[in-house]
Structure 1
Amino acid sequence: MDLEPGLVLGVSFCAILIAITGIAVYTSFGPPSKELSDPFEDHED
C-alpha cells in the first residue's frame, strides 16, 4: 500500500496541530495551571 505524499503531509499536520492544542489545554486547565500567575491580580491598586 503506497500512500500519497499529500495525505501523509495532511495527516502529519493535523496530528501536530492536535498535539499542540492538547498540550495548551493541559497547561491551561490541568495541574500545571496552579503555577500560573494572573497579571491582573498581581497589579491591583
Structure 2
Amino acid sequence: MQAEVTDTRTLFTHYRQVKNPNPEFTPREGKKTLPFCRKLMAKAE
C-alpha cells in the first residue's frame, strides 16, 4: 500500500510538458483578440 502512494506522488511531481506540433490560433466571434495581438506584436518590433 505504501508503494502505491509514492508512485502516484512521483506521477504528479514529475510530468512532461507536451508541445503542440501544429499550433493554430482560432479567434472567437465578437472578441477583439486578433487586433489586440497585432497591436502587441507591432509594439514588440
TM-score band, normalised by shorter chain: 0.3 to 0.5
In terms of fraction of residues, the more helix-rich structure is 1
Give the greater-gyration-radius structure (CA). Answer: 2
